[in-house]
Amino acid sequence: LPLAERVKRKATLLFDAHEFAPAEWEEFAKWRLLIRPYVLWCLKALKSVDLMTTICAGIQGEYKKSYGIDSEVITNACRYFDLAPKPVQEPIRMIYTGIAHPGRHIDQAVQILKMLDLRFHLDMILVPGMEKVIAEIKELAKDEPRIRFLEPVPLEEIVPFCNRYDIGFFPLIPTNRNVHHGLGNKFFEFIQARLCLALSPLQEMARLTKQYDCGVVAQDFSDEAFASMLNALSSSEIRRKKENASQAALALSLDANWAALDRFLESCDVAAQIASK
């Protein structure tokens, strides 16, 4: 960002902030001590930004509160997939995908599964990289036959692969502000896969899940609350929420993002600015 500020001259500078950079890994003291000062230095260049985007309303609010800068929400949505929900049968098949970072507390997924009715089975796809964390999770789950660890799937194949499941399983503890506001790609992939979402009560994901009635949200962040929520689900409820996810898939896709970005650029008259420079 400081480099862009230096070379922009009369150009229009668009900054995709994505998440709230000053809080990226704020739960780790080493990051706060060594990396955060550099991030804060970089963000001094925000004053030169003409247009800015973030991934959700919560992150948008963090930048407005801390820096007084307005931004447009462009989510992490993936492209639209023309799929149909698969029928719900027992065992109820759940899928978890993601990086095995210690900040994600993936052990929570294993502990929750152990509290669930026997009708629930969980497949986990953990992205390689942090092998120690993956080994610890597998050790924790070694005596639970209802948990399987699958090989990673290419990014473009994740949505069609997940379509065979019933529930997109995503417990997550809000360890920092970005997680609290979190609206990651996993949420949108599960929607495109036409799954019933099962989520922790994170602000943005909970809001959209309730708005489209496409899943269930735990009462709090405890393992017990998440397990209780799932145990109360009937097959017919799962089926209905999968259908609702299918109805919401276009509105929550990359296609909608492009339309929003076009409107944003037009409202700022960027084309005219560029033409005049």
Closest by CA to 75, choosing from 186, 156, 183, 201, is 183
Mean pLDDT of 13-35: 89
Closest by CA to 70, choosing from 52, 55, 58, 45, is 52
Q: Say if residue 32 is in the same domain as residue 105.
A: no
Work out the mean pLDDT of the chain and round it to a whole number: 91
Residue 271 has pLDDT above 50, yes or no: no
Q: Say if residue 114 is in the same domain as residue 48.
A: no
Q: Say if residue 161 is in the same domain as residue 143.
A: yes
Q: Say if residue 6 is in the same domain as residue 124.
A: no
First to last CA, the chain: 21
pLDDT at 50: 85
Q: How many domains does the chain divide into?
A: 2
208-258 pLDDT, tens per residue?
A: 999 999 999 999 999 999 999 999 999 999 999 999 999 999 999 998 888
Residue 83 located in a structural domain: no
Q: Say if residue 198 is in the same domain as residue 263.
A: no
Sheet holding 120-127, edge to edge: 147-150, 120-127, 92-99, 167-170, 196-199, 215-217
pLDDT at 208: 96
Please state the φ and ψ torsions of residue 199, each to the nearest 5 degrees.
-130, 155
How many C-alpha atoms does 83 have within 13 Å on its Cβ side? Answer: 30
Domain that residue 261 falls in: 2-77+254-275
Residue 73 located in a structural domain: yes
pLDDT at 103: 75
Residue 53 has pLDDT above 50, yes or no: yes
Mean pLDDT of 47-63: 90
Q: Say if residue 104 is in the same domain as residue 223.
A: yes
Give the angle subtended at the CA of 184 by the CAs of 200 and 129, to the nearest 5°.
100
CA dist 88 and 37 (Å) reads 50
Residue 86 located in a structural domain: no
Mode of pairing for the β-strands spanning 167-170 and 51-54: unpaired
CATH code at position 220:
3.40.50.2000
Residue 87 located in a structural domain: no
Q: Say if residue 107 is in the same domain as residue 69.
A: no
Residue 99 region, left (φ>0) first, then alpha (ψ -120 to 50), else beta?
beta
Q: Say if residue 258 is in the same domain as residue 244.
A: no
Residue 29 located in a structural domain: yes
132-181 pLDDT, tens per residue?
A: 999 999 999 999 999 999 999 999 999 999 999 999 999 999 888 888 88
Residue 153 region, left (φ>0) first, then alpha (ψ -120 to 50), else beta?
beta
pLDDT at 100: 83
Q: Say if residue 213 is in the same domain as residue 112.
A: yes
Mean pLDDT of 117-145: 93
CA dist 166 and 239 (Å) reads 8
Q: Say if residue 142 is in the same domain as residue 218.
A: yes
What is this structure's pTM? 0.88
pLDDT at 275: 46
Q: Say if residue 132 is in the same domain as residue 236.
A: yes
Q: Say if residue 119 is in the same domain as residue 231.
A: yes
Residue 121 located in a structural domain: yes
Residue 84 located in a structural domain: no
Residue 82 located in a structural domain: no
